Amino acid sequence: MAKIINEPCHTFHEYLLIPGYTPISCRSDKVSLRTPLVKYRRGEESAIMMNIPMVSAIMQSVSGDRMAVALAQEGGVSFIYGSQSIEDEAAMVRRAKSYKAGFVRSDSNIGPDNTLADVLALKARTGHSTIAVTEDGTAEGKLVGVVTSRDYRVSRMEPDTKVREFMTPFEKLFWAKEGTTLKEANDIIWEHKLNSLPIVDEAGRLCYFVFRKDYENHKQNPNELLDDHKRFVVGAGINTRDYEQRIPALLEAGADVLCIDSSEGFTDWQRFVLSWVRENYGDRVKVGAGNVVDAAGFRFLADCGADFVKVGIGGGSICITRETKGIGRGQATALIEVCAERDRYYEETGIYVPVCSDGGIVFDHHITLALAMGADFVMLGRYFARFDESPTNKVNIGGTYYKEYWGEGSAHARNWQRYDIGGDKKLSFEEGVDSYVPYAGPLKDNLAMTLSKVRHAMCNCGALTIPELQEKAVLTLVSATAIVEGGAHDVIQKDTSPIIK
């Protein structure tokens, strides 16, 4: 007969933090949420350190290039969804990597013999008001001028007016040579009150633009997560089928870290992927794996070479794996066991493999609980799906705005690769639902509130860093009646909904 674990598994709902001593020096503005994303050896630092312990889920309804930019600006990482063509995913990665780099490759280019109508069409397509004019109309052509909205008046010019007639010609531009540092470029911009500065090589070919707004954005986002070339750190999802073609394309596009998107990670299929990566790229390419729910699953993936391991099966708000297959485990219990094994693995090998808690987080305080239980960071789907930056539509239902949200195992996504265990190339049955989540506005404002709660809770435990929280935190299981006691009860709450006149 099967091995029976009689100890019930638990969720985040069933735990509370016991407050510890808080010294006067422990203030929320002093809390650091810096945390490792990928594995490292004892005495070293992770190759990618995030400034907040949050990543967005590898889902069609969550992580596109806009989410990747918005989350990297706040210090986290988005994993662009892989349930699309290789070309489309690589294009998303490329857009996110080039969006903010200090030195930005131009993606709005035109030739001098094009017309005002072409300029307006290009602006409508890209949303960019600064357009490079090159001899051949490409991003690498010889720069002959620049067009901005100040160079033309639609109401007083014919649509067929040639670009060469109204552009600002090269000889009237401020520009800099390739090799100019970002600081030098920004100094030129500020000295001459420019909005942008083209960077050209010795032959006059366009290399990059440096924009004034990027400098200002950087000052407004001190936690933004950048690579060595001042570009946003971007993650991408892969599967266990076309990885030999998808991984090179994503790396060429600039992806900093990859993650196998699968409902269950304790498989030969993930071992094959990790082995192929190590054979072809060594440790240069960073790949996370999962998902698992016990110590054996973690050790298997760690031994296979995973750079981080995701924990959680069936705990997502749109996941019905537990209902359809009876597979899974309460998220808190799974996380506690895996993190304990992570620590044992570190003691034995000197290799620290970060753990990502994926699923089961309903309230903001569940993030703090997950970190206290040992998670290095959390992966969130529903949380990020609510924001402007998610790829889905905003819809009005009964006067209230919602965002669409669906699981990767739903008929909507039809992402059979995520649930693939070597069978037919089809989604045999659903393991996710199609749903709506309340629209919450921009990511930045909501994330600031969530992280404020995490920081304050850490101070209640006397901790200023995540490792210190894991060392000092004391957790207690709660009963069903204690859960009721923890919310508003035995009162008649006032109606705080807005009054419409």
Catalogue the active-site residues.
319, 418
Q: Which residue bears the tokens 């100019």?
A: 180
Order of strands, sheet of 434-438, starting from the edge strand that comes earlier in the sequence: 394-397, 400-406, 434-438
Q: Identify which of 91, 130, 95, 93 has the alpha carbon closest to the alpha carbon of residue 109.
A: 130
For residue 281, the SS3 value is helix
CB-based burial label for 342 (10 Å; 0-12, 13-18, 19+): buried
How far from the centroid of its chain's Cα atoms is residue 354's Cα?
A: 16
What is the secondary structure of 384-445 as a DSSP string? Answer: HHTBTTSSSPEEEETTEEEEEEE-TTSTTT--GGGG-SSS-SS--S-SB-EEEEE--B-HHH
Sign of CA dihedral 171, 173, 179, 180: positive
Q: How far apart are CA 395 and CA 64, in angstroms?
A: 19
Which string of b and e fits 292-318 if b means at least 16 CB within 10 Å?
bbbbebbbbbbebbbbbbbbbbbbbbb
Q: Within 10 A of 358 (CB to CB), how many other CB atoms are there?
A: 29
Q: Which residue bears the tokens 């200023």?
A: 464
Q: How far apart are CA 278 and CA 93, in angstroms?
A: 22
Q: Identify which of 219, 215, 209 has the alpha carbon closest to the alpha carbon of residue 187.
A: 215
| φ/ψ (deg, to 5) at 447 | -65, -40
CB-based burial label for 127 (10 Å; 0-12, 13-18, 19+): exposed
For residue 107, the SS3 value is coil
